[in-house]
Amino acid sequence: MQTKWWHGKVAYQIYPKSFCDSNGDGIGDLQGIISKLDYLKELGVEIVWLSPIFKTPFVDQGYDIADYEDIDPVFGTMADFDELLAKAKERGIDIILDLVINHCSNEHEWFKKACADLNSEEAKYFYFRKGKNGLPPDNLRSYFGGSVWEPVPGHEGEDLYYLHYFTKEQPDLNWNYAPLRQKLFDMINFWLDKGVAGFRIDAIMNIAKDLDFPGLPADGADGMCSANKMTAKLSDQAATFLTMMNDATFKPHDALSVAEAFGVNQDSLKNYIGDDGFFNTIFDFSARELNEKYPAYYRYRPVSIAKWRDTIFASQERVNDIGFMCPIIENHDEPRGVSYYLPRHAQNADGAKAFGAVNVLLRGLPFIYQGQEIGMTNTRFNSIYEFDDVNAKDNYKSALEGGLTPSQALEVLNVESRDNARTPMLWSSEKNAGFSSAPITWLKVHQDYQTLNVAAQKDDENSVLSFYKQLIALKKNPQYKEILTYGKFKALDPVAEYVVPFARELDGKMIYVIANFEDTEVSYGVNADSKILLSSKEVQLQDGRVTIPAVSCVVIEL
């Protein structure tokens, strides 16, 4: 495997609206991020991914981009961004941006020009199609509910539609049109030339489209079929575009490319994340994908840590000889992992530490999502009006249509909603958790902020935050860096349902990472002279056996 500059590092995701508000408008911004760079440096992260900061009407919280080369005024200016880039670099932190190029915003000038003149160049950037038999061109269902087709604004009654796999304010871009692809590649290079270290690449598998728009057999009572089923059939076409993009952008810049690519199968993994892959790496979403097979969001099934382990271990084994994936516990599209996956008795600081050890020490480039490092749990929402997310609102509606009562639907959102992880970062016990001085914040503040916050944990050596610092330091420790980066993943015998144990192995050396989420202790056979590198509670090592207390973890060199 080729050695890359990002190997062995730990990455951190910032959700800019909710990280730190410097100007008191209730919304996080770039100067706020700059003010927290020392915090990130102290934590030990060396790569920071910013969710979108570009000009946007915020229908899908910035994943609807109106200008790819400008910063949204809510976040600041290009000068602020340049300052952030430079100050991060001074601290040894590389910035990667969010590349949202399956679609743009309906407020992008491309789309406005396209609608205003169907014969314009810009009209070729989108998929405009006539309906079929008085219906939209096909029966695909958008990710956020309803048809993927919407009448073209200004041309209502003309049986003319445009395609949108996400909200109707996010028209899909026509990757089949070469000049549009070139525009996107130029834009990517604009940022890379500025010094951005790479990109997290949004919803990218969706760029492939069957230009006949044949639709698919219905998979629901609405007669529609999920757009992702079409995407899954078109991966060869996507591959062609992805190769072009890599050759024109990431590869010549040696940029880090991390894709949000669902559904990559074993046979094609090498093409995605191998040495010559389309990307450097992709997120491991296999645990999240367990829920996708359910017919409706509101009929979700809880995923226990046992299932999480089995599916994540399987994907670790799959990529051992191919490349790296990015282990995550949560992100801005998912509820907090501690609340979602851990048994109730472990939904606390102890559980957060043990889960953190798994996240940071699995093989791959781990991403920590803001707040995870202090053990943030789901936020309590008391009414549908407290939610912001377009997806949450859609799902609430379909839950009611599906027969749930309002309070049942609210409970579903409290478990599943994307807003769970989008609430403001908890900095202190002050007003708005020290996130903002505004009278109110754009999204509510987590209920436990008075005790669960950075200030309360910073100087406490037993805090979740301090434990994360130790984990990251261990991963970077020159003595263990090699094995913790390149060492093969090996599953160990779980011995009990809620235990997540694995080994990293390199050149005959072996490190065990054992996270015990049971409410009783468990023990493992190790070597008589094994050495404990880190543990979240006091562990006993006697006669070649290590005993790990309930809800804790240990890292041992054998």
The residues of the shown chain that bind ligand GLC, judged by CB under 6 A, are 60, 63, 100, 166, 202-203, 260, 332-333
Q: In angstroms, what is the minimal distance from the CB of 396 to ligand GLC?
A: 16
Q: How far is the CB of 332 from ligand GLC (least distance, A)?
A: 6
Contact 381, 411 (CB under 8 A): no
CA separation for the pair 494, 522 (Å, rounded): 10
Nearer Cβ to ligand GLC (173/410): 173
Q: Determine the length of the chain.
A: 558
Burial (Cβ within 10 Å: 0-12, 13-18, ≥19) of residue 25: middle
Whether the CB-CB separation of 63 and 202 falls below 8 Å is answered with: yes
Alpha-carbon distances, residue 531 vs 260, 466, 515, 539, 555 (angstroms)? 38, 21, 17, 11, 9
- Please say which residue, 260 or 330, places its beta carbon nearer to ligand GLC: 260
Task: Give 520: exposed, middle or buried? Use CB within 10 Å, 0-12, 13-18, 19+.
Answer: exposed
> Shortest approach of ligand GLC to residue 166 CB, angstroms?
4
Residues 324, 487: contact at Cβ < 8 Å? no
- The nearer residue to ligand GLC, 209 or 332, going by C-beta atoms, is 332
Is the CB of 166 or the CB of 213 nearer to ligand GLC? 166
Shorter beta-carbon distance to ligand GLC: residue 84 or 101 = 101
* Among 107, 243, 245, CA closest to 181: 245
**Least distance to ligand GLC, CB of residue 200, Å:** 9
Residue whose CB is less far from ligand GLC, 49 or 272 = 49
The residue at minimum Cβ distance from ligand GLC is 63
Contact by Cβ (8 Å): 62, 166: no
Question: Would you list the DSSP string of 9-63?
Answer: --EEEE-GGGT--SSSSSS--HHHHHHTHHHHHHHT--EEEEPP-EE---TTTTS
Nearest distance from C-beta of residue 106 to ligand GLC, angstroms = 13
Q: How far is the CB of 328 from ligand GLC (least distance, A)?
A: 12
Three-state SS at 432: helix
Catalytic residue set: 202, 260
Phi, psi of 161 (to 5 degrees): -125, 155
